[in-house]
Amino acid sequence: MSDPAISVQNLYRYFGPLKAVNGLSFDIPHGSVCGFVGANGAGKTTTMRILASLDYPTMGTAKICGINVIHYPEEVRRLIGWMPDHFGNYNHMTVAEYLDFYARAFGYRGSERKQRVEEVMEFTDLTGLADRFSNKLSKGLTQRLCLGRALLHDPQVLIMDEPAAGLDPKARVELKHLIRVLAEEGKTIFISSHILSELGEMCDSLLFVNQGRIVHHGDAESLRQGTDASGGMLYDVQVVGEPSRLQEWCSITPQVEFLESRKQGARIRIEGVEGALAARVLSRMIKDGLEVTEFHREQRNLEDAFIDMLGRLENPSSESGTPTSFAPQP
């Protein structure tokens, strides 16, 4: 059986006392797209930098297509395309010159180099901008240029750190399209992002990391369903008058949690997944004098699932599934 495209085993990276990566293990099969998700400071960039052979782990192993990144960084660099979250640019270098410079660094010569630069500009839709100064591009075009640079040597594995950060919706759609095309070509893509809804659409699997540890590895659908089953149902509730009354009511009512204020109400969670329980909660709200104008169930999205997961980590007792019962009121 062939080695996974990316394999990380018991990976640790300490910065003094700070455990930025704290025992990560995961495999990503060839030809799949894996989203790497976590709060700021969770250890994503550090992990990706190790995989890109730019940093050493304190302990553990990381392999690309079976090749150890610590022992064989040169070989690994031939296999990966690295798109960092921030990258340097040069004054007075056009798009074509910029790509040509990197193609030369990758060892391409003569007509092969020219052809490779043209192919990459075509793929990233930069051909019409070949003579533009590379440091004068919009954020979206700059990201496409950075992707082009990462693709010059036609790598099997792409590691992308927050490629969609700071992009407007149109540029995000364009980037997503390019990632989809690369995935269809069979490349393995490991991508970090804070925009979970977009990752859910394009990734075969999602890897959630918190404080340097993996808290979930699975597909987006199972995450939505799994969290749904244990994390209850979400409702949008609109009321007449002060929404703060609704918040107070939630704080004294078992099995109901206030999640966030909204213009005329709030988003709340009702524990359990039975419709009958939601009906009892609504009836109790009304009996308790809240003037409810709207009450409807909301679809859980990946952000909800992630926040829930973090909440359960911080408060493991809420995972037990044995909350105080919400008894029907006489």
**38 near ligand ATP (CB under 6 A):** yes
How many residues sit in the footprint of ligand ATP (CB under 6 A)? 11
44 lines the binding site for ligand ATP (CB under 6 A): yes
User: What does the alpha-carbon distance between residue 150 and residue 157 come to, in Å, rounded to a whole number?
Assistant: 10
Interaction between residue 69 and ligand ATP (CB under 6 A): no
DSSP code for 158: E
Helix (H, G, I), strand (E, B) or coil at 168: coil
What φ, ψ does residue 24 adopt, rounded to 5°? -85, 135
**φ, ψ at 84 (rounded to 5°):** -75, 165
- Residue 61 bridge partners (DSSP): 9
Which residue stretch of 38-46, 57-65, 176-184, 318-326 sits at the interface with ligand ATP (rule: CB under 6 A)? 38-46
Cβ–Cβ < 8 Å for 84, 93? no
Is 46 near ligand ATP (CB under 6 A)?
Answer: yes
Q: How far is Cα 213 from Cα 217, in angstroms, rounded to an integer?
A: 11
Nearer to ligand ATP, 43 or 231 (CB): 43
Instruction: For residue 44, give the nearest of 163, 188, 168 by alpha carbon.
Output: 163
Q: Which of residues 28, 33, 37, 42 is near ligand ATP by CB under 6 A?
A: 42
Our finding on whether 18 is near ligand ATP (CB under 6 A) is yes
CA pair distance 186, 179, nearest whole angstrom: 11
Residue from the set 5, 8, 11, 20 that interacts with ligand ATP by CB under 6 A:
20
229-288 residues in contact with ligand ATP (CB under 6 A) are none
The answer to whether 103 contacts ligand ATP (rule: CB under 6 A) is no
CB of 52 to ligand ATP, least distance (A): 12
d(CA 240, CA 148): 54
Which of residues 120 and 164 has its CB atom nearest to ligand ATP in the complex?
164
**Per CB under 6 A, 15 contacts ligand ATP:** yes
45 binds ligand ATP (CB under 6 A): yes
Conformational region of residue 188, where left means phi above 0, alpha means psi within -120 to 50, and beta covers everything else: beta
37 or 266: CB nearest ligand ATP: 37
Q: Which spans of this chain sit near ligand ATP (rule: CB under 6 A)?
A: 15, 18, 20, 38, 40-46
